[in-house]
Amino acid sequence: MNPRYIVETTKSPDQTVADLQVAVKEHSYGVLHTYNLQETLASKGHNLPNACHILEVCNPAQAAAVLSADMGMNVALPCRISVYEDHGKTLIAMVRPTILLAALSDSEELKTIADQVEADTIRIIDAAK
């Protein structure tokens, strides 16, 4: 299985970010922060020719369950969804939570949570595309 989940959309990056923000809320998650890497790098004197936005998203109940099971898993939180341009296409992508947590822990409890979070975030991405 590909460790990344990636879909293409015909929308602009800005419209995709806006639609993702709506989909995140509709699925009982929240957007903690949105980074615009193109603007950030430009402010540091580096040109990034393609749009690149990263949304940090979180479901508080799922995050609390992960951290209650293993506080060290804070390194894997929050989930990140990226919207970026590549070769004239707008893409939405994430690292699969199941792959990420499996690399950090063999806990069955965490696997169950990661399965649910992955299903949720795929639904969020698919709703926004």
The pLDDT tens digits for 110-127 are 999 999 999 999 999 999
Angle, helices 97-104/108-128, rounded to nearest 10 degrees? 160
Considering the chain, what is the average pLDDT of its residues? Answer: 96
Phi-psi region of 16 (alpha: psi -120 to 50; beta: other; left: phi over 0): alpha
Distance between CA atoms of 117 and 79, rounded to whole angstroms? 9
Residue 44 has φ and ψ, to the nearest 5°, of: -100, 5
The string of pLDDT tens digits covering residues 73-105 is: 999 999 999 999 999 999 999 999 999 999 999
Domain spanning 4-128: CATH 3.90.470.10: no
Summarised one tens digit per residue, pLDDT across range 29-65 is: 999 999 999 999 999 999 999 999 999 999 999 999 9
Query: Residues 84, 7: contact at Cβ < 8 Å?
Result: no
Please check the confidence at residue 1 and state whether its pLDDT lies above 90.
no
The residue extents of the domains of the chain are 4-128
